[in-house]
Structure 1
Amino acid sequence: MKRIALAATLLLAAAAVAGVARPEGAHAVDGQTTSTDSITVAGNGSVSATPTSAVLSFGVDSRAQTAKAALAANARDMRAVIAAVKGAGARDVGTLAVSLSQVLGPNGEQNGFAASNAVTATTDVGRAGSLIDAAVDAGANQVNGPGMSVADQGALYRKALKAAMDDARLSAETLAAAAGRSLGKVTSATEGGGATPMPFAEKAAAMDSGTPVEAGTQEVTASVTVTYSLS
């Protein structure tokens, strides 16, 4: 009886090992893994537009022997500049910076005080030149800009984004055809960074007809990374 029981136990153990190690078990696990052919491409798009607004800054730098005198002279001249800028039709006029500092001579000696004040203003590109002239005529001795911008940059960026998707699809179709495959649906799309270069007008000398400011063009760009399935 002991020999029969021992033989039965050995047979059961062998059957258990065979069941774990059999190829059918490994095949069942592998059958859970599937793969899909795909292709990933990058696309770029851009839209050009003419700037419509210009932002400039106008300032006055004043010097005097005392801090009070420098600040008083600066305030007087800056009020005239602000009034001229507003009178020329500028909008969103706001103070940019006010400063008062001691002026030192070549040997480090005290040589009076310097006061400065600057404002920013927005105008239509076509009126930027006349705005500069009005500010300078009123006493501004610091002019910076213009910084150009286009209206509704969000809408322009969305157009550039659509162009980037079209560019990505064209690249994917070309690659798929070269590989003898057909392009399927989009499985993922990632938006890249967008950029809007902000060109500045070149510095121009004053002319009898006024300071010239050219709008030029700006390019709004977008990029995407798109994955397509292949069939």
Structure 2
Amino acid sequence: MNKKLGFAAGLLLGVIVIVALALLLSPSISEQEAFNKTLEVSGSGIVKTTPDEAHVLVAVVSEAVTAKEAAAINSANMTTIFAELKRAGFSDVKTLQYSITPIYTWIEEETLNGREQKSVIVGYRATNMIEVVCIPDDAGTAIDAAIRGGANRIDSISFQLSESLQELAYSDALRKAVNNAGSKADVVAETMG
């Protein structure tokens, strides 16, 4: 019997502790009233800015009978392009893609079943694409320098924000959003009295 009585007393004590904690941790009426008077507002901030970077993508495409020859021709052209870009004052230049692919043609062949077509490799194409990052006003100069060096394909020009300008614009937009939310909260507070 003593074990059952001890267990029941322990269980009763546990329930009392839980109820006491619940009462202590529950918000008082004044806290609930303050909570009920809480109003959430949101704000927005828009920042418009001009891109400060141009990303110019150019390539050299070289063809030859063997892959080794195509790669060698391409490499020589790229060396000249890099030299021209450096001479023109461009230092932010990097390779984005390099590939060597076979060039196929179709031929007809006489077989036991008649004439059939099949593809055969007639050469190789080496492609090397580079990116030049510069200020927007210099994009044309970068293209001219690359073409002088031997680039034979212009892939794209895109205008973007530099990382530092992105961070600056984001911070400015946050400030505007906070001010906008504060103005909304002030209007609500004045209206409610």
TM-score, L = length of structure 1: 0.58
RMSD: 2.7
State the distance in 1 between where 2:40 and 2:101 align. 59
* Cα separation, partners in 2 of 1:91 and 1:32, compared to 1, 3 Å: same
Aligned counterparts, 1:78-97, within 5 A: 78-97=78-97
Give the SS at the match of 1:48: coil
What is the aligned length? 155
1:155 alignment counterpart: 168
For structure 2, list consecutive stretches of 5 or more residues without a partner in the other structure: 1-22, 107-117
- Cα shift at 1:90: 1.0
Letter in 2 for 1:96: L
For structure 1, list consecutive stretches of 5 or more residues without a partner in the other structure: 1-26, 183-231
2:125 alignment counterpart: 114
State the distance in 2 between where 1:115 and 1:168 align. 56
Letter in 1 for 2:45: G
1:173 alignment counterpart: 186
State the distance in 1 between where 2:99 and 2:83 align. 20
TM-score, L = length of structure 2: 0.69
- Cα shift at 1:131: 1.1
Asked if structure 2 preserves the Cα contact closer than 8 Å seen for 1:89 and 1:123, the reply is: no
Give the SS at the match of 1:49: coil
- Cα shift at 1:28: 9.3
- Whether 1:47 aligns to 2:51 is no
Out of 21, 28, 31, the position equivalent to 1:32 is: 28
Structure possessing the higher relative contact order (Cα contacts under 8 Å, 6 or more residues apart)? 2
* Cα separation, partners in 2 of 1:171 and 1:105, compared to 1, 3 Å: farther
- Cα shift at 1:29: 9.2
1:138 alignment counterpart: 149
- Whether 1:128 aligns to 2:124 is no
